[in-house]
Amino acid sequence: MKRLLLAATALVVLAGPALSQTVVIAPEQRKVIKEYVVKEKVRPFHMQSRVTVGATLPADVELAPVPSTWGPAFSSYRYVYTGDDVVLVDPSSRRVVEVID
């Protein structure tokens, strides 16, 4: 029983960061985010190609802090606006976790 508990604890600790990369954004929240970049006139960063979830962004892509109006679920991420899409990024790895089109 003790070994099972230790194994389960280890699994949670090791898998935690991977599981935290799942981002679910409701349609209403997607609308709020898109309206924000339009209303605030966020300057787009023009990418060479379309960005996909799981891609790693190069160091020259400037990531902006996520505004608090997007909600606490997004506070650990950064974003970049491409002119068409809002791209949520894990700042520690620069991996794309969600593309809001």
Domain limits, the chain: 24-100
| The pair of three-digit structure tokens given for residue 71, joined into one six-digit string | 């909600």
CATH of 24-100, one of 2.170.130.30, 3.40.50.300, 3.10.450.160, 3.30.70.260: 3.10.450.160
Tens of pLDDT, residue by residue, the chain (101 residues)? 444 333 333 333 333 344 446 688 999 999 999 999 999 999 999 998 899 999 999 999 999 999 999 999 999 999 999 999 999 999 999 999 999 98
3-state SS assignment for residue 40: coil
DSSP symbol at 48:
S
pLDDT of residue 21: 63
pLDDT of residue 74: 92
Tokens 């929240």 map to which residue?
A: 29
User: Distance between terminal CA atoms of the chain?
Assistant: 48
